Amino acid sequence: MRVEIWADVVCAWAYIGKRRLERTLADWSGEDVDVVWRPFRIDPTAPAAAVPLAQALRDPVVAGALSRCVPDASPAAGRERAAQVAAEVGLGSPWGAAWRVDPTDAHRLIALAYDHGGSSLQDAVVEAVLQAHFVEAADISDRAVLGALAVASGFPAGAGLLAGDAGRDAVRDLLLEGRARGVTTSPTILVGERAMAGAQLPQVIAEFLRRAGRAAEPARETLAEVRRYRHAESLLELRDPLGALTLLGPLLAEHGDDRGVRLLAARACYASAQLGRARHLLEALVDETPDDPYVHRLLGRTLQRQSAGGPEGAAHLRLAAALAPSSTMVP
């Protein structure tokens, strides 16, 4: 059973959740579990250069973002509660982050560790990064710090990989995938499409794993391309057309002749006001399937939104109405 932990390394509850999951698995008697860490961002506006956390927390917006893993609690109460629970599960002392950081490179290192050494190496890197941030008060946005952590975790190649762009696109795509799959807080555990939010107690985690394992469909692999397409579709439904287009990029490059991929891209282009690109895709689709009312309607709307395309757009809308007179569909 694959257990995915979607979490931000600057979230105290991610570290607490890690300890609680470890306690759960120490007593686990069910099927084998493979734990994989995935990225999430609770503070997406963090600056590239680290800022002392005490200074950053004077901004109520920042304080709220860094404490939003604890619902119905003030930022100060959330931090106090996290420190108390961290002590209960054996983290610290000392305890407490010292820096507001952009965790992009840390997430890259964690993703690369999984690619190079699987879940055991990734777990070692995650542990090192979380300990550095919350116990050692290190700046985990500093590549020199991350490089040393990589070496200490048995991933010496990690430092060199961080010097380039390795893992950057993967983390970007994983963040979009998490949003498409409904991840809204750190940490969130996913087993298949079943989710449990928050750093729950070990007995709660165990019950979730038992239920999720029983409810899972028989093991079968879904093509990566199909998953990517579905996630792009979900992002479009969530009104994130630019995210959808990001995920569709590799599909358009590798499967540019697939009608479904091109139509979804056209819809995303229309929704993001990339009208020239939408028109290019839709005109080719109209040529291929001239009896498709949806494509005519979407092309008509696209042309009407372009300054010089009014009459031509109206013609496509009339044709769409003739092909599907009872349809109320709109792009």
pLDDT in tens, 19-44: 999 999 999 987 899 999 999 999 99
The pLDDT value recorded for residue 209 is: 94
Where residue 220 falls among pLDDT bands split at 50, 70, 90? very low
Which letter does DSSP use for residue 177 in this model?
A: H
Question: What pLDDT digit, counting tens, does each position of 309-321 carry?
Answer: 568 888 999 999 9
**Are 9 and 126 a contacting pair, CB within 8 Å?**
yes
pLDDT tens across 166-217, in order? 999 999 999 999 999 999 999 999 998 899 999 999 999 999 999 988 765 5
Tell me the domain boundaries of the chain: 2-215, 224-323
The pTM of the full predicted model, rounded to 2 decimals, is: 0.90
User: What CATH class does 224-323 carry?
Assistant: mainly alpha
Residues 105-128: tens digit of each pLDDT: 999 999 999 999 999 999 999 999
How many residues in total does the chain contain? 331
Q: Distance of CA 33 to CAs 22, 119, 165, Å?
A: 11, 10, 31
**Does 51 have pLDDT greater than 50?**
yes
Q: Measure CA 236 to chain center.
A: 15
Give yes or no for a cis peptide into 290 (omega within 30° of 0). no
Contact 199, 20 (CB under 8 A): yes
The correct CATH number of 2-215 out of 1.10.260.40, 3.50.50.60, 3.40.30.10, 3.30.390.50 is 3.40.30.10
Handedness of CA 105, 106, 108, 113 (dihedral sign): positive
**H or E element in which residue 226 lies:** helix 224-237
Amino acid 324: pLDDT? 82
